[in-house]
Amino acid sequence: GRVARWVDLGPAARIGLMVGALSGTSALAVLAASGAWSLLGLGMAAGSAVTAGLLGGWLIDHFTLGPVRQIETTANRMAAGDLTQVIEANARGAVKGLQVALAQLNVNLRSIVRDARSQVEQMRDATSEIASGNQDLSSRTESQAATVEQTASSMEEITATVHNSSQ
């Protein structure tokens, strides 16, 4: 295996190790003050440091980074167009504020999309009515043009008849 470098560790692991180091340092200080530098004492100090580090890392990951990852996943789903999700604000502190803001954003986006769909539907209906009216007007115009053409033809016949009668 490969030994992890400090920069390769995630934030929770870094903080956990710092907490563990502080805990181990505290345990060593207690041992030094009491003069009990036994192998068992050093092992217990190291064990408590590792335990505190792991516990601290888990707590940070579970209560801070876990909800932030959930917010990130939810935001990515919203960005992909999924507005169907229900977002619950179940965290604490600033993370809860982010959850509340994201939930409100989701509600607002759903409302905007619903209103846009409604407007598109109304435009589609209005466009259909205009197209129908244009078709009706075109039909009436063609009919009137045919009537005018018949009238013009009849006038030509009357003019020709009158002209022939006058000669």
What per-residue confidence (pLDDT) applies to 1? 46
- Please name which of 24, 28, 27, 26 lies closest in space to residue 53, comparing C-alpha atoms: 24
Which helix (H) or strand (E) segment holds residue 166: the answer is none
User: Is residue 44 scored above 90 in pLDDT?
Assistant: no
From residue 21, give the alpha-carbon distance in Å to each of 25, 31, 46, 96, 153.
Answer: 6, 15, 9, 30, 109
> Which tokens is 60 given?
């940070």
What per-residue confidence (pLDDT) applies to 165? 83
User: Is residue 40 scored above 70 in pLDDT?
Assistant: no
In the block, which residue shows the tokens 């016949």?
A: 157
Q: How far apart are CA 70 and CA 109, in angstroms?
A: 19
> What is the DSSP code (8-state) at residue 65?
I
Write out pLDDT tens, residues 52-75: 777 777 777 667 777 888 889 999
User: In this predicted model, which residue has the larger pLDDT, 149 or 8?
Assistant: 149
Write out pLDDT tens, residues 107-139: 999 999 999 999 999 999 999 999 999 999 999
Lowest mean pLDDT, pick from 45-49, 67-71, 99-103: 45-49
The alpha-carbon radius of gyration of the chain (Å, integer) is 42
> What is the DSSP code (8-state) at residue 8?
G
State the pLDDT confidence band at 23, using cuts at 50, 70 and 90. low
**CB count in 10 Å sphere of residue 57:** 23
What per-residue confidence (pLDDT) applies to 136? 92
What per-residue confidence (pLDDT) applies to 14? 62
What per-residue confidence (pLDDT) applies to 121? 95
Report the sign of the C-alpha dihedral through residues 74, 78, 81, 87, in that order.
positive
